[in-house]
Amino acid sequence: MIWVIDASVAVRWLLENESHPHADEVLEKVVKFPHNFAVPELFAFEVYSVLKRMHPDGLRAFTGAIIPLLQGGMLRQPMTESMAMKAEPFVKSGLTGYDACYAALAKQLRGRWLTFDQKAHRSIQKSNVSFLLGGRRMPQKWP
């Protein structure tokens, strides 16, 4: 299974006050099995933006930690007309355009979107394309 990583997961790798053991476990798996993970191209922009606002050295954190992961073998999906079309039903379900791209990518890859965003997850929970991190367990079929 392919796991689509939300920006809310990645920022927890680098912000001390946001850390979470499930985020750490995702990072461990990304390093070991990068081909099991994917992100929409907007992931990099979102993470960069948050790190620049909230990390004492956001540029260094981004270039030292996130860029190597992005170049390490995970799929990076560009925004295309096809992706926009796949995202549209998720927008109609209540997701932002950004979050809809994560969900659409998970659906396209027959995977799951890993997120800490409760509101987004609940908006599309019935579609079975997202998994809310932060609870007691990690998803089934976890690598």
Query: What would the two tokens of residue 49 be?
Result: 């933006």
Total-model pTM: 0.95
Tell me the CATH architecture of domain 3-132. 3-Layer(aba) Sandwich (3.40)
CA dihedral defined by 57, 63, 66, 67, rounded to 10 degrees?
170
Helix (H, G, I), strand (E, B) or coil at 80: coil
- Provide the residue-wise pLDDT of the chain in tens; the chain has 143 residues: 999 999 999 999 999 889 999 999 999 999 999 999 999 999 999 999 999 999 999 999 999 999 999 999 999 999 999 999 999 999 999 999 999 999 999 999 999 999 999 999 999 999 999 999 998 899 888 88
- For 82, the token pair is 């096809």
Work out the burial of residue 42: count CB atoms within 10 Å of its CB; fewer than 13 is exposed, 13-18 middle, 19 or more buried: middle
Q: Which two tokens stand for residue 62?
A: 């981004």
Q: Map out the domains of the chain as residue ranges.
A: 3-132
pLDDT tens digits, one per residue of 45-70:
999 999 999 999 999 999 999 999 99
